[in-house]
A and B are shown apart, each in its own frame.
Chain A
Amino acid sequence: MCGIIGCAGRGEDTLDTLVHGLSKLEYRGYDSAGVALADESLDVRKCAGEIEDLREHLSGMTVEGTVGMGHTRWSTHGPPTDENAHPHQDCTGNVAVVHNGIIENYQSLRDELVAAGHTFHSDTDTEVVPHLVEDALNDGLDPEAAFRQAVEQLAGSYAVALTVAGTESVFVARNDSPLVLGLGEDATFFASDVPAFRDFTDQVVYLDDGEYARISPDGWEVSDVDGTVVEKAVDTVSWDPEETGKSGYDHYMLKEIHEQPRALRQCLRGRVDELSASVDIGDLGDLSPTGVQFVACGTSYHAAFYAAQLFQSAGIPAQAFLASEYATSPPPIGDALVVGVTQSGETADTLSALREARHRGARTLAVTNVVGSTAARECDHALYIRAGPEIGVAASKTFSSQLGALNLLALATTRSDEAREIIAALRDLPGQVQELIDDSDAKEVAEHYQDADSYFFIGRGHMHPVALEGALKMKEITYKHAEGFAAGELKHGTLALVTEDTPVFATTVGDGEQATKTVGNVKEVEARDAPVVAVTDGQSDIERYADHVLTIPETHPRAAAVLANVQLQLAAYHTANFLGRSIDKPRNLAKSVTVE
């Protein structure tokens, strides 16, 4: 899904209007973005990255025009590079096009255009359109007729917009992709969705399939396929555009926590076969590593830490490193495969660590959410977690999908006697996360402890990275002190901080040695009057020592880590919400950290 926006009549504010509109369409995707502004000449600026990156890219530049259009992209095919970002241009640089949808016959059109001497700069289907327009202009057609002639050759779905230097107009057409006009007092807009221009007008005209429109500083006109002017009804919208992207939730983060069953389904789709106990994660070459070094930051580091445990349990030496340290103080690599875990694929510290590893001759693999991101392109291999766009700055669904994908990596590259049980547990995860969300008591727990001084999180084995992630989430969005520990480590120092005002979240599953020992650690904190929140599948007797219990469904310990983490996400979210924090954009934090 992509988003498009355009305007005419905004004068000097044209660029700001477009960038503002794109930010409102961010929920439709944000891995690359661009704008085109036209007056006598045409200015096109675009780059890979979020809308913020485009904003930065544009700062200090003079980009002028009286009409313009913009585009934000979420790629599923073709990497989010500067070249693949919209707008796309023709050979002369006088024509610019943005497009949402799929042009099914682009390959044959492209072949013809290349044969006729056109040069293409991107991998996109969209780029055929500006070249078709270029040909029509060369045949002497005016821009509007050229646009129609080009669009008539397209098969597939599109909301497409064109501007040409010197015309002071934008031409749009719609077929099977959404497109709506916005009518301001002195300006006209178009967009994939109303929120893009809702701050400027509430008067809208919905285009129908097969319709064309022309907007200019002087007004607007809609016509049909034959060019006959169509009388369109003008509707008034009174609703709040903020709501659209959040599906009616107060915050993107809660929406994204709730999306985890779907994200996990996407992560696993077509990759696991339980009945034959096999995993297929595509063409990663001959990856049977004798050692694995993971590099990552923040939440991704916790996923990497968990993944290192998976390889260790398969008898393969594996370690997780903080990418910022690895880049400057790398360990001996030997034959190890170096795996970078980064949601955005653009994390500067992780890229730097991966480059250091490549420089030393290591094979590298990126585990990322963004198709064709820098990490994916620079590494020898890429494994996509397929979580879909995540808007909340604090990672939630992408952590779960990272754990899912890293399990697939471990299964695909190592031998395991338990493969079938693990695959079954992974396949059960979407339904179990749904069960947990349906029944969670995390809100009550959060309400009870919202005034605590500090929060501690403990766990053993796979629950150790979960404890670290639980604490990070609590810090990020509540601005309160929180720390995660290996359960056995608490008594070696931190116990001095434990008081009746420091709740301890203790996570354990099963009734084996790990559970017994964790229960022992819980007794230590209980004896210091600290409130205990047990996150458990109910198999051990931890509930006897707990003040509150957050229940997770019974499953394999690997999958239990995902479930336990969802409870801790909900606890952090509700605590931050009771405290009135800026949950989706916590202070001082950015979604993808592109500086070292």
Chain B
Amino acid sequence: MSVRTAVVLAAGEGTRLRPMTRNRPKPMLPAANRPILEYVFDALIDAGISRIVAVVGYKRDRVKDYFGPTYRDVPISYVTQAKQLGSGHALLQARSVVDGPVLVVNGDRLIDGATVASVVDHFEEDQDTPALAVIERADAQRYGAVDLRDGDLVSIVEKPDSNQYRLINGGIYAFPESIFGAIDETPRSDGELALTDTIARLIERGRVRAIMTDGMWVDATYPWDLLAVAREVLARGRVVEDERADGVWVDDSATVHEDATLQGPVVVGPDCEVGPNAVVGSNTALGDNVTVGANATIRNSVLDVDARVDAGSTIIDAVVGQDTTLGANTTIPGGPADVQVGTDVYEDQRLGAVLADRVRARGNVSLSPGTLVGPKATLHSGVHAYGHVGEGVEVVR
């Protein structure tokens, strides 16, 4: 029996990415100008998967509305994880809709088809033994770190304290159907069922194969990581728009004024409009229906669907959420900055600003490096914003 069905875990919010996750889960945040989850689905379909089961939870309508009943002609079934009680619990929700061996992937990280195919191929040689993708990362202690012996997993530790680890769990698993029973038998810790706890038990009782891969594996932990993700996607040319010139991808339905300049790598999505003398790029992604006014400069930034940047604005090192409008002469001069999230301070990040969905900046607004602006906040004319502006807050001069 071959592996045909993939379960994609896409129920979690990704709380460290707030305020970008106000209206959608992490898998729907933009990697350049398409949702992270779309890259995951592409990888699965490229690897021959013919049916996708998406486990959705937090803001699940946004996943269902974007992909609908099929993606690239592959049917998608949606199952709901009402409460996010861990990745094992998430997978259990799919139990009633899958049969036989199953591929399981995290829906919130960029992966490629070759990696998925490699896990499937190795698993199909011995379908009683679970297999998972293993990737080498310098920052292994941030993820689920693993140790191997003779190609088998010997330990798996979530976010280890020590930095002796170099290998991580890639979040791509192939399991025999018995995985569901194994999750059932795993004791909950703090009310949650982590898939990695089950895998740790499988290691004790038998074998778990580790499949070393070196394909694309990109993750965003904090909002500003979306800039690095976009850089990587553009560097790899993982965009679907037509390439007009080297590293310049523009959708057919976009309108770019003849006096505008696009500096690659840059991607301009469907229905975008770029006005005269605007300079967009490098390392910039414009989502669907973004409007860039005359004489605006945008560099090293991600502008999500329906964003508007009015004439004369300067936007550098910024993440701009959906349907956010930056009025004329908005200035975001760019990083580096010390960014404060809650009580934690992240020093020396290259970040101009993060503006969440539906922010309104009325005009002549400037933002200090590292500013975080919550959804539906309004920055009135002439405001200078810094630090953290909360959701729905109106800032007047």
Contact = CB atoms under 8 A, between A and B. Distances in A.
Interface of A: 1, 27, 177-178, 180, 193-194, 206, 208, 233-240, 243-249, 255, 258-259, 261-262, 265, 268-270, 273-275, 427-428, 430-432, 434-435, 437-438
Contacts of B294: 275
Contacts of B306: 428, 430-431, 434
Nearest to A178: B73
Most buried by B among A244, A261, A275, A435: A275
Contacts of A246: 69
Contact of A265 (B75, B273, B288, B322): B288
B82 interface: no
Interface stretch (B11-19, B92-100, B141-149, B363-371): B92-100
Most buried by B among A27, A194, A274, A432: A274
A438 B48 CA distance: 34
Most buried by B among A1, A27, A208, A427: A427
B113 to A, nearest CB: 14
Given A206-B4, A247-B78, A259-B68, A273 B61 contact: no
Contact of A177 (B73, B76, B255): B73
18 contacts: A177-B73, A178-B73, A178-B74, A178-B75, A206-B50, A234-B1, A235-B4, A235-B100, A236-B99, A244-B75, A248-B56, A259-B65, A275-B275, A428-B306, A431-B305, A431-B322, A432-B323, A437-B61
Nearest to B49: A206
Contacts, number: 108
A51 B165 CA distance: 60
A275 B290 CA distance: 12
Interface residues of B, number: 47
Contacts of A430: 289, 306
A239 B23 contact: no
Interface in B207-250: none
Nearest to A239: B97
Given A275-B257, A275-B273, A430-B306, 12 more contacts: A177-B73, A208-B48, A244-B75, A247-B68, A248-B78, A248-B79, A255-B64, A273-B273, A275-B255, A428-B323, A431-B305, A437-B61
Contacts of B275: 275
B5 to A, nearest CB: 8
A179 B79 CA distance: 24
Interface of B: 1-2, 4, 23, 48, 50, 56, 60-61, 64-65, 67-70, 73-80, 96-100, 252-253, 255, 257, 270-271, 273, 275-276, 288-289, 291, 294, 305-306, 322-323, 357-358
Contacts of A177: 73
Contacts of B48: 208
B76 A247 contact: yes
Nearest to B276: A275
Contacts of A273: 255, 273
B136 to A, nearest CB: 32
B100 A236 contact: yes
B69 A247 contact: yes
Contacts of B271: 265, 268-269, 427
